[in-house]
Amino acid sequence: MQANITGEGTVSSRIDPALIPQRTLYTGARMPAIGLGTFGSDHVNACQIAEAVEAAAQFGYRHFDCASVYGNEAEIGGALSEVIASGVKREELWVTSKVWNDKHAPEDVIASCEKSLADLRLSYLDLYLVHWPFPNFHPPGCDVTTRSKDSKPYIHADYMKTWAAMEELIKRGMVRHIGTSNMTIPKLKLVLEDAKIRPAVNEMELHPHFQQPELFAFVRANGMEPIGYSPLGSPHRPERDRTPEDTSPTEDPAILRISRRHGINPAVVCIKWAVQRGQTPIPFSANPRNIFSNLLGVTGDPLTDGEMREIGALDRNCRLIKGQVFLWKERQEWEDLWDLNGEITPA
Ligand SMILES: NC(=O)c1ccc[n+]([C@@H]2O[C@H](COP(=O)([O-])OP(=O)(O)OC[C@H]3O[C@@H](n4cnc5c(N)ncnc54)[C@H](OP(=O)(O)O)[C@@H]3O)[C@@H](O)[C@H]2O)c1
């Protein structure tokens, strides 16, 4: 397959995967410090994303962030089997998937993982995440006002039943690591107290306008790796995930200034900052040039300490993925999902 996905011409360069920075997890396993996101934001279809995965692997990516709810794991599985057939060993790849919110019942966790493995054509996953801590179904593509009549808040005892099933996946050899996503410090504290197998990562929104310094520090201090989603501020996210207050890190004057200084795209400044700060960004792209530039950005020519400080000062606490559909009762604000006062928001 050609790396020509968008008709903008092929990109034939390749980066040696050995040059890509790695994160060492508490198990000693090494995870590439940049991955390719695979959520098409409702406008890039499954086949285009499978092509992006294959192109990315040719460029040197070895880390892929997947999820059952993205609706494209079967197509990505086809791409991954091509990648492996081309000579990349399975153990060189880092493949993540996630259990969706309507599959939190322990038997559903196991079945959902089995389905992701079958779709991805793999015998194990490197990482399996609980996608959101709320067991609420809402239809794909629904708008922010949609509420499920069965919506529930975070109930720790229920989450731990889900987590026990996640632990069982490790015991069965179906996954190598388990982790959390969209969590808060108070929720993570409880999970860390009660887990038999601790989360290896927490996947969270992270970009220059939403740096989450307390959660970022907490995650690292507790032996987890922060994986940063929407590292570019998700410029093409669906309409339902936009509000008038949202800001765009790739349009920030300081990011633009730094990008001009280095002769790179502002998006690549965000990626460099993320990797140098210590998180693992998982930028999505279906454009081979962007896929390649993002990877090239993490090898060589680092940002200076002064530039890192300058970007560190850009935080606007601007959460873009607010999760409104997870609210569990009437007249709630999305902030309730994120335990802003340091306690789990009461039911
Ligand atoms: N755990 C969770 O709950 C959760 C939530 C959200 C996202 N995620 C994961 O995180 C991944 C990334 O987040 P995201 O997709 O929301 O947003 P993002 O990675 O911040 O932004 C992706 C967008 O940026 C553009 N882009 C990428 N590289 C570029 C470059 N070098 N120059 C200019 N534009 C560039 C892409 O357009 P082109 O295609 O045109 O390049 C794409 O539309 C997702 O795909 C998914 O895997 C996880």
pLDDT 10s digits, 13-58: 899 999 999 999 999 999 999 999 999 988 899 999 999 999 999 9
To test ligand 1's pocket by mutation, which of 232, 252, 268, 291 has the most ligand atoms within 8 angstroms of CB? 232
The structure's pTM equals 0.96
Average pLDDT, rounded, for the chain: 94
pLDDT at 10: 54
How many other β-carbons are positioned within 10 Å of the β-carbon of residue 309? 10
Residue 156: enclosing H or E segment and its boundaries?
A: helix 156-171
Asked if 272 and 311 touch (Cβ cutoff 8 Å), the reply is no
Q: At residue 146, does pLDDT exceed 80?
A: no
Nearest CA to ligand 1 atom 47: 37
Q: What angle do CA 321, 327, 329 make, to 5 degrees?
A: 160
- pLDDT digit string (tens) for 223-257? 999 999 999 999 999 888 899 999 999 999 999 99
CATH number corresponding to 32-338: 3.20.20.100
**CA distance readout (Å), 123 to 68, 72, 81, 117, 242:** 16, 18, 12, 6, 38
Task: Say how many Å lie between the CA of residue 230 and the centre of ligand 1.
Answer: 5
Q: Which is it for the CA torsion 61, 47, 128, 340, positive or negative?
A: positive
Q: Is the CB of 101 under 6 A from ligand 1?
A: no
Q: Is the CB of 280 under 6 A from ligand 1?
A: no
Look at residue 217 and give its three-state secondary structure. helix
- pLDDT digit string (tens) for 254-286? 999 999 999 999 999 999 999 999 999 999 999
How far apart are the C-alpha atoms of 276 and 302, rounded to whole Å?
A: 8
Query: Percent helix, strand and coil across the chain, each rounded to 5?
Result: 40, 10, 45
Q: Which atom of ligand 1 is nearest to the CA of 231?
A: 20
Catalytic site positions: 70
- pLDDT digit string (tens) for 62-88? 999 999 999 999 999 999 999 999 999
Q: Which atom of ligand 1 is nearest to the CA of 285?
A: 39
Phi, psi angles (nearest 5°) of residue 207: -155, 170
How far apart are the C-alpha atoms of 76 and 119, rounded to whole Å?
A: 8
Task: Say how many Å lie between the CA of residue 141 and the centre of ligand 1.
Answer: 17
To test ligand 1's pocket by mutation, which of 48, 127, 285 has the most ligand atoms within 8 angstroms of CB? 285
Nearest CA to ligand 1 atom 36: 285
To test ligand 1's pocket by mutation, which of 206, 230, 256, 319 has the most ligand atoms within 8 angstroms of CB? 230
- pLDDT digit string (tens) for 302-318? 999 999 999 999 999 99
Q: Is the CB of 181 under 6 A from ligand 1?
A: yes
pLDDT at 147: 76
In which band, very low, low, confident or very high, does the pLDDT at 7 lie, cut at 50, 70 and 90? very low
- pLDDT digit string (tens) for 186-203? 999 999 999 999 999 999
**Average pLDDT for residues 320-346, to the nearest whole number?**
92
In which band, very low, low, confident or very high, does the pLDDT at 182 lie, cut at 50, 70 and 90? very high
**CA distance readout (Å), 169 to 57, 92, 162, 278:** 27, 21, 11, 28
pLDDT at 15: 96
Q: At residue 210, does pLDDT exceed 80?
A: yes
Extents of the domains making up the chain: 32-338
Task: Say how many Å lie between the CA of residue 37 and the centre of ligand 1.
Answer: 6
Phi, psi angles (nearest 5°) of residue 328: -110, -5
